[in-house]
Structures are given as C-alpha cells and as structure tokens.
Amino acid sequence: MKIALAQLSPFIGDVNRNLSQVEKAVVFAHNSGASILVFPELFLLGYPVMDTLEWRHVMDDVDGALERVRLLSAQYPGMAVILGSAVRNEGLIGKPVRNSAVVFCNGERVFTQHKTLLPQYDVFNDARYFEPSLSVDVVELFGQRFGITICEDMWNKQELGRERYAIDPVKTLGDRGVDCFINLSASPFEHDKLTRRIDRMFHYVTHYKVPFIYVNQVGAYDELVFDGRSLVMNSLGQVCHVGGHCKTSVDVIDLDALSPVIEKAKELDDDLGYLRDVLVFGIREYVMRSGFKQIVIGLSGGIDSAIVASLAVEALGSENVIGIMMPSIYSSKGSILDSEDLAQRLGIQTHIIPIGPMYDAFERSLESVLDGTRGVAFENVQARIRGTLLMTYANHNGCLVLPTGNKSELAVGYSTLYGDMNGALLPIGDLYKTQVFALAKYMNKSGVVIPQSIIDKPPSAELRPDQRDDDTLPPYDVLDLILYKLLEGQESIQSIVEAGSNNETVEWVSNAIAQNEYKRRQAPPVIKVSSKAFGLGRQYLSTQKQH
C-alpha cells in the first residue's frame, strides 16, 4: 500500500488558499498510485489558528471546504484522504469546535477522529479553543486497520516522573489492534525536537510491532517555525523516511517496502546547520507573510548585526537587504571598516548616517531638565536615535527593520527600549551570545562570510569611550551558563551556586531577568529555537520576583 505524506504549509485562516493546496495534492497523490493521502493537523485553517476561530464566518468556510473535499474524493476513487480540520462540536456542552482528522473516500466522509489531548503549556493553548475527544476508534481502510491521532495525542510522556495526561490515545488504539499508526501533526522546531519525535514513535512501534507514520506541517508564523521533517518508522523501529526540513513536499512511501535510511536519530541533525536553516526560513516566511519584500538592518560592526545581515541575505537575497551604519564619536574606525567589509561580502546596499549632530541636539535640549551628568541615560539616547533612523527609513521605503539583539542581552536588559529593540522580528533573540559566536564560525566554514575581525573583537555597544560588554556583564560564557540554568533549566539560585557558580553573580543575573520583564513585554517576536524562548511560551508578570 502506498501512502502520500502532504508536508505542506498552510496560510492561517485562509481556507480557500489551503483548499487549493489540498486539491493539488489529491491529484498528485492519485497519479502517484497512493491509496491514502495524509495532511498535517488542522491544515484547512492552519496551526496555530488562535482567535481566528472567533470569526463568525470561519466555520461556514470550513464546512464548505470539507464538502468540496468530499466531492473531490468521488473524482479520485480508490484513495482515502485524511485531512486535518476544525469540525463543529454537535453536542450541547463544551467548546463549539473540535480539532479533527476527517477521512474521505469514494465521495463519502467515512470517519472522523477528534483530538484527545489538548496541550496547555509553553506556546500551546489548544484547550482555549477546542473541545477534546473522549474516545478514540480504529478505522479500516482497504482491508487494514489504522489508528489515527493528532499531534499531542502521541506526547503523553513522562514529565518529572509523572504522565502528562490521564489517558494515552496511541496506547488505546494499539491495544485494540492496528496495522499502522498515523499522526497528523503541527509540531514547531526546537533543539533536539526531531530526536524526541523519533523517540516517541520508537516507544510505540517497539511495543506494538507496527509502522508509524508522522506528517508534520511546514511554515513559520511569527515566533514559531514548523520544520516539517515528516517521519515514517517501520515495525522494527527503523526510520525509513525523513521529509525535508523547512521544505514543502508530497512524498509517497510504500508501506509494504520500508527500508531504513539511518541507523541513529542523531545522524539526521547538524545542529548549527539546521539552526541556520530554521532562522533563514523564519525570516523569509515572516517577511513574505507580512506582505513585505525588503528589510533594513543597523550595521554596528559587531557580531550580532553581522549574523542577522548574513541570515537575511540567505533568506531574501542581497538585493532585498539594506544596511545602515550610524557612527557616533564613540564608534571605532574598525567598526565602520568591518561593516563595509561585511556589506561587500554580502553584496548589500549600505548608507552611512552619522548621529553626532543629532546627539548634540539632544544634549542641548536636555540640559535644562537633567543634572548635567552623562550616564546610561545619555548612552541610550544614541541607541534611540539609531532606532528612530531605522524605523523612519523603513517607514519611508516600505520595508521592515530586523533588530539584532540576542537572548543574553534580552534576558538581563542589556538593550535599549525604543532603540536597538525597535523592529519587526528578532531573528537571534533565542540564541545566547556564545551560540551566536558558534554560529558565526560555522557560517564561515565554507568561505568567509563574516569578517574574522568581527568574530575576534571584544563585544561592545560603543556608547562610551573604550566600552566593553564585560564592563557591565559577566563574561558571556559565565553569563550564558547561568541564564540557561535559570531559564531552560528552571533551577534555583541555590542549586546553581552549589554547582560552582558565584553567588553574587547568580543573584545579579536572576534580579536582572526579573527587572527587565517590562522591556521584553515590548520587544518584537523572537524566533523560537529553544525549549524556553522569550515570548508566547514564557509567562511572568513584570512586577514579580522570578527566582
């Protein structure tokens, strides 16, 4: 039996556009001899659908599209279509909509399986919108029994020694006897996520000795990047198909002839290469889906702006990236030269706008209301001038600003509100500074893209004479380790100190995280690549102590 995996990219709320993709995939799969065509979770509406479900007309649009798919299945007999869609809850109790897998075959709607486990953690908020299923059932197609589940239904894993949910839909189906598991998914990228997906599949396959098919969505939506990489595992627990990462496709596999493609899951992952691809894809998708074509970046001569500019050129092409250098009296000659060298290597257009005269005007205007000292507030004036210039350029030319802050800076507030935090999307806002350096070195492996002088120079905001980041912050290797333990590890100050970190430093970092929550509330969305990124998946009050 041949099964087609429609690893496609939906448009949130655009039912007709998504339906068009369904129609094309049906024709392709039928012509390829597939018996079953499987789409990702909630494909007709897109995931995450969020408050789109509150539009009064949206379920009417979905109902109409489902009917068109039913009629389409009559035109291509002998092939079942398993489509992820919202479905009305016909009961009188609960949420009005369910997240479902709908099966069409020979012009009939033959089966519907609703999602059972509705995640309510990290970036997921399914329970806000959908009514869960209370049961799962096996469906027979062409003489074989299939257990169909939706995304979270396969993730009832151990968390700190306990199950996340009281029921396990995949286990229930397996105990009833199936010939194959199928999971419709919309699973966003994180570090090591592919390995975890394979581990979950392996858990069920080795117990029930049947294949497992996993079809994942592709696309980037603000913070979330859905990386695809649909999977097929045979009854021996061997991975026999891996879909492209961040690429759409309709791949046809033969369920009766599954040969392993890898020995170990880790062989699939080139961590830094995959990370780069995800960030490039996230930038490209954000700009495209926002209706823009070009972006502008402030080039400081530092590693963060160099990385963002390089990623943007990969995403959009050099003709769609503009760099603006905005030197002050504190900018080193090397920073300008390094920025020019970078721009030449990337082939991007640049402009130079000195900010000295504007800064002098601010100083004169503020003399009568400030006490005459020149502290951090005046350093930040420079960043705010630059932010204003970038936003004005973008506004005038119809493009977007990409800010260049990293996770280390966002965490401790080493950034200026309404200055270097201005912009549409933070591409490296979930990368610690040490990760930024590692990525820069990786990107230079096949030829120097980022000048070595940028990588070698001590990080500096260049807002005062001879300034260095480590004048204000702990060394980045020290800072990033503590941040990782506090943010991703959610460890206590005491446990981090007991592991060897300096108590005063850990206290300072913890307090800085808490004190700068108000800044992050006003920051652009951050492309999420870790288990705990700033944004949707991390919720704290600006006024609470966090550790």
Residue 339 to residues 299, 403, 463: CA-CA distances in angstroms? 6, 16, 17
Q: What is the DSSP string of 334-378?
A: HHHHHHHHHHHHHT-EEEE---HHHHHHHHHHHTTTS-S--SHHH
Residue carrying structure tokens 């995949």: 170
Is residue 393 classed as helix, strand or coil in its secondary structure?
helix
Active site residue 115: yes
Strand 249-254 to strand 2-7: parallel, antiparallel, or no bridges (unpaired)? antiparallel
Q: How many CA atoms lie within 13 A of 129 on its CB side?
A: 21
Question: CB–CB of 185/40 below 8 Å?
Answer: yes
Active site residue 462: no
As a dihedral over the C-alpha atoms of residue 258, residue 263, residue 266, residue 267, rounded to 10 degrees, the angle is -90
The active-site residue, picked from 2, 24, 108, 115, is 115
Spatial CB neighbours of 317, under 8 Å, sequence gap ≥ 6: none
Active site residue 41: yes
Q: What's phi and psi for 446, nearest 5 deg?
A: -100, 20
Q: Which of 231, 253, 257, 252 is nearest to 242 (CA)?
A: 231
The active-site residue, picked from 2, 23, 24, 41, is 41
Distance, CA of 174 to chain centre: 32
What gap in Å lies between CA 170 and CA 155, rounded to an integer?
A: 9
Give the total residue count for the chain.
547
The active-site residue, picked from 105, 131, 151, 409, is 151
Q: What's phi and psi for 88, nearest 5 deg?
A: -65, 140
Which strand (E) or helix (H) includes residue 514? helix 503-515
Q: Which of 61, 40, 458, 75 is nearest to 250 (CA)?
A: 40
As a dihedral over the C-alpha atoms of residue 412, residue 406, residue 482, residue 199, rounded to 10 degrees, the angle is 140
What gap in Å lies between CA 78 and CA 36, rounded to an integer?
A: 9
Q: Which residues are known catalytic residues? A: 41, 115, 151
